[in-house]
Amino acid sequence: MLEHEDCVSKKKRWHFPLVSISMLRSKGALSVLIMPDSWCLRQYDIYEMILDTIESMSVAIKGFFVDLPTFFFAFWDTSVWKILLRTHSLETNCLFSRRRVIQIYARGARILDGSYMTQEVPFGVHNSDLSSNSEAPVVVSVSIADPYVLLKMSDGSIQLLIGDPSTCTVTVSVPTVFASSTEPICACALYHDKGTEPWLRKTSTDAWLSTGIAEAIDGHDGLYNDQGDIYCLVCYESGTLEFFDVQNFKCVFSVENFIYGKSHLLDKYAREPSATFQGSKGKVSEESNGFLKELSRDMKIVELAMHRWPGQYTRPFLCAILSDGTMLCYHAYLYEGQEGAPKFEDAVSPQKSADASSISGSRLRNLRFVRVPIDIATREDSSNVVARPRITIFKNVGGYQGLFLSGSRPAWFMVCRERVRVHPQLCDGSIVAFTVLHNVNCNHGLIYVTSEGYLKICQLPSLCNYDNYWPVHKIPLRGTPHQVTYYAERNLYPLILSFQVVRPLNQVLCSIADQDIVHMNDNDNVNSDDLQKNYTIDEFEIRILEPGKSGGQWETRAKIPMQTSENALTVRVVTLFNTMTKENETLLAIGTAYVQGEDVAARGRMLLYTFVKNVDSSQNVVSEVYSKELKGAVSAIASLQGHLLVASGPKITLHKWTGTELNGIAFYDAPLHVVSLNIVKNFILLGDIHKSIYFLNWKEQGAQLSLLAKDFASLDSYATEFLIDGSTLSLVVSDDKKNIQIFYYAPKTLESWKGQKLLSRAEFHAGAHVTKFLRLQMLSTSSDRTNITPGSDKTNRFALLFSSLDGSIGCIAPLDELTFRRLQTLQRKLVDVVPHTCGLNPKSFRQFRSNGKAHRPGPDNMVDCELLSQYEMLPLDKQLEIAQQIVTTRSQILSNLSDLSLGTSFL
């Protein structure tokens, strides 16, 4: 696993493609897990166009770009633009099966037929209830489901535009159920349940609808209707969510306290006895209940959306955004009650028993929603919050469907196989408008506008697979990859690759004999028939790949074959100081080992290649400049202040480069076998295969490698790396027991045995064999910029990204003391509050595993973010109760979790 090294120096550090090695049995591939900002085809400045505001552009791209035959304005009729830009538009879309275009602005609507305006409907002009001094309400949000247009007004009321397909006109209507209501509405939306067999009909209590009859009769004329049903979703400021059938505006589904974010939603008239019992157990104290009511008044739903994407066995998704930026996502499912369960008539009071049968027959009694976890921070920065719609539903962008969440932290919510895959897009900053573009020049593409005034026309890379936790672009190698590195200056990826070949046994023995004359006589003891048998061996090579432009196929630029029985163990791009020319040179360093059996002394080779400049695509990009055979296998390589540090067997040697030769200037004897080398300034972290880690120091004066401290325990090291937190330096190591330990060097502490022993800072069980650490600088957050204390150094803070043998990727990040204590207390509460899978205890799982060996437990200085992320999935009342118990606030906890998520969003 590696990353572009030049990205760290860029001002915008959102462009981090992560390249990893993935393998299944003997078939391997390179996996590029993220490649942002490579989708853009063209880019334009908004101020160069006829539209002078971002808001006008956001409306224009939604209304017109989807039908253009070319990239830009092919529809040059200026009369249409004069009509559209006469007022500030809120929404522009098609009506009456794309025969008309409707434009909604604050105080009215226009119906357009090409370049002609056929109808203009003002809002609130003839309202007799308004006094002469009061201002008429204006439209603040729009939802369209052909032929209906739902309008939310500034006074908390709603209006409905009903379209007539025969005349292509609309009329304004206020549903009677809302005309007499005084409760203000905070969000509303229309949901079109399309198809000959709408999904929500199956959740009704009517038996003939729940049997799945394909031809459903609907409408007053008794004709067959294949347009489906349209529902109106309304959320009140009190937190209640209601579904209304638009045909007669009867309430068919109602949920109380929707803003609480409960794990399951069900109709308030269809509660089961178990749900009532569970609800009685979840009571909080009067103080918490009062605080909850106070918070509920300040928190409300600001945006609603519900959609069911086409496909077999698909179900609707319900999404909502709270005023604090929290996004709620629910997935609908059909609930079938148990036999003998009490019916609806038994649950209502005797006073309402007369209307029980009518209510039961019309409500979606078997409809349930389950909350879907979202593992990204969707909250807006408080300084950048602007009241505009954030949810845009798309049906086909690069073959994928889902919704796009705009704002200061935009993200893709792709629905793949009824699962939501969330992919943040932070490379361009805040996005204020988004829509789909499909024509001959941009097939199933997209358009979005950034807050800085750039309009981008893009396509999703066709080679990427988004049905994963991260977008993945796999490059098949037809072999087994072992290690990969990156050369930033030329954008090249050298990697070690092995593949199985079949060779006759006599050919294998002859090649070995050519390398060592001692084995030439071994062929005399082998039967002649056995010499003709085929033998499968592994051959190694160094392959250098170059990524294709715009996310295309990768090309092989060079191949460096290894000798027979020679295994390539490590490959690195190093920078060495040439003592003859007094200049730095970038070279490709390769360490190998000969595998010839236990009777032959181990040996290997050290190879150096230079990168050739100005070569054609058909030529090799490297040429050999140095090769030398060493005693012992070359297992690790690193560059140290212009010198080359080589681990060969149990010894590490520091060499200087003369341009043609490597001359040793210092060495250090390791206990057994070095598996990893890490460098920070003049400090060296050495990982031994059985003797844990060693902390060394290089002194230029005197040319000496000296031991500072070591871990005296016996530990089978897998990977090592430095962890930097300001001026604090820590040493991280993973072992064969799937543990990760963090050490630090404190020579003035008594427990360090006068500085000879490394002290434990933290330890935990990762649950997988960690084979690689990658050190990345953490990103600054808004709280870091506003709460900088004197003497703090949050800019020099790094996190460790690690990969494991089971294909998982994790991250270790430092925390300040106050945040750590708060999250640690929260973690202890969540161990008892959150229901765990199969009853597995996360606290016990994360404890250090020694497998019977003597081990002194280290300090408990690690928090499990996988467990902490469950806090946001808890209901609002439970979140407030836990926050009160640990003497903090919900907003403070969510702010800490959001900062941690954004600080490690470097991919």
Q: Tell me the DSSP string of 483-517.
A: EE--BTTTTBEEEEEEEEEEEEHHHHHHHHHHH-G
Residue 15 has a pLDDT of: 54
Structure tokens at 436: 């789909």
| Most confident stretch, 77-86, 291-300, 813-822 | 813-822
Report the predicted TM-score, pTM, of the whole model to 2 decimal places.
0.86
Predicted local confidence at residue 602, as pLDDT: 87
Per-residue pLDDT tens digits for 708-741:
999 999 999 999 999 999 999 999 999 999 999 9
- For residue 573, pLDDT over 90 is answered with yes
Is the bond preceding residue 814 a cis peptide, omega within 30 degrees? no
Q: What is the pLDDT of residues 511-566, one digit of tens each?
A: 665 555 444 445 556 666 666 678 888 999 999 999 988 777 899 999 999 998 89
Looking at the predicted structure, is the pLDDT value of residue 91 above 80? Answer: yes
Helix, strand, coil share of the chain (percent; to 5): 20, 40, 40
What per-residue confidence (pLDDT) applies to 341? 54
**pLDDT tens by residue, 95-116:** 998 899 999 998 999 999 987 8
The least confident of 182-191, 452-461, 824-833 is 452-461
Q: Average pLDDT of 378-394? A: 74
For 580-606, write each residue's pLDDT tens digit.
999 999 999 999 999 887 888 889 999
> Taking 60 as the threshold, does the pLDDT of residue 68 lie above it?
no
pLDDT given for residue 285 in this prediction? 55
Name which of 212, 158, 223 is nearest 184 in CA terms.
158
Most confidently modeled range among 117-121, 189-193, 792-796: 189-193
Higher-confidence position of 600 and 848? 848
Tokens representing residue 337 in the block: 């009650």
pLDDT per residue over 317-362, tens digit each?
A: 999 999 988 999 999 999 887 655 555 444 444 444 445 445 555 7
Provide mean pLDDT across the span 299-303: 92
Report which of 900, 875, 904 is spatially closest to residue 890, judged by C-alpha positions.
875
- pLDDT at position 109: 93
pLDDT value for 241 = 97
CA distance 328 to 320: 5
Query: What are the boundaries of each domain within the chain?
Result: 176-373, 575-638+651-667
Across the range 406-424, mean pLDDT stands at 93
The confidence band for 796, taking pLDDT boundaries of 50, 70 and 90, is confident
> Could you tell me the two tokens for 747?
């020579």
What percentage of residues in the chain have a pLDDT greater than 90?
56
pLDDT at 59 over 50: no
Average pLDDT over residues 376-402: 81
852-887: pLDDT as tens digits? 888 899 999 999 999 999 999 999 999 999 999 999
Q: Which has the higher per-residue pLDDT, 692 or 23?
A: 692
pLDDT at res. 286: 58
What's the rounded mean pLDDT across residues 290-296?
63
The gap from C-alpha 187 to its chain's centroid, in whole angstroms, comes to: 28
Residue 207 — pLDDT band, cuts 50, 70, 90?
very low
- Vertex 670: Cα angle to 666 and 676 (nearest 5): 95
What letters, b where the CB count within 10 A reaches 16 and e where it falls short, cover 233-244?
bbbbbebbbbbb
Indicate the SS3 state at residue 295: helix
372 confidence band (pLDDT: 50, 70, 90): very high
- The reported pLDDT for the residue numbered 663 is 96
> Is 62 or 199 the better-scoring residue by pLDDT?
199
- 225-236: average pLDDT: 85
Please tell me the predicted confidence (pLDDT) of residue 74: 37
Residue pair 334/301 in contact (Cβ under 8 Å)? The answer is: no
What pLDDT is attached to residue 866?
92
Least confident of 386-390, 491-495, 682-686, 841-845: 386-390
pLDDT tops 50 at residue 834: yes
- Of residues 55, 837, 52, 76, the one with CA closest to residue 388: 55
Residues 6+ apart with CB under 8 A from 511: 563, 564, 565
Our CA dihedral for 876, 881, 882, 885, rounded to 10 degrees, sits at 160
Structure confidence at residue 222 (pLDDT) = 39
Q: What is the 3-state secondary structure (H, E, C) of 319-366?
A: EEEECCCCEEEEEEEECCCCCCCCCHHHHCCHHHHHHHHHHHHHCCCC
Those residues whose C-beta lies under 8 Å from the C-beta of residue 646, and which sit 6 or more positions away, are: 591, 606, 630, 634, 636, 637, 652, 653, 654, 655
Helix (H, G, I), strand (E, B) or coil at 717: strand
Q: What is the pLDDT of residues 800-818, one digit of tens each?
A: 999 999 999 999 999 999 9
Q: What is the mean pLDDT of the chain?
A: 83
pLDDT at 34 over 50: yes
Using the predicted structure, report yes or no on whether residue 143 has a pLDDT greater than 90.
yes
Among the residue ranges 89-98, 611-620, 740-749, the one predicted with the least confidence is: 611-620
The pLDDT, as a whole number, for residue 661 is 96
Q: Which of 15-19, 97-101, 231-235, 792-796 has the lowest mean pLDDT?
A: 792-796
Assign 743 a pLDDT band (cuts: 50, 70, 90): very high
pLDDT at position 531 = 66
Do residues 144 and 102 lie in contact, with contact meaning Cβ atoms separated by under 8 Å?
Answer: yes
Cα separation, 646 vs 607, in Å, equals 11
Residue 470, SS3 per DSSP: coil
CA–CA–CA angle 904, 906, 907 (5° rounding):
120
3-state secondary structure of 831: helix
- The whole-number pLDDT of residue 619 equals 73
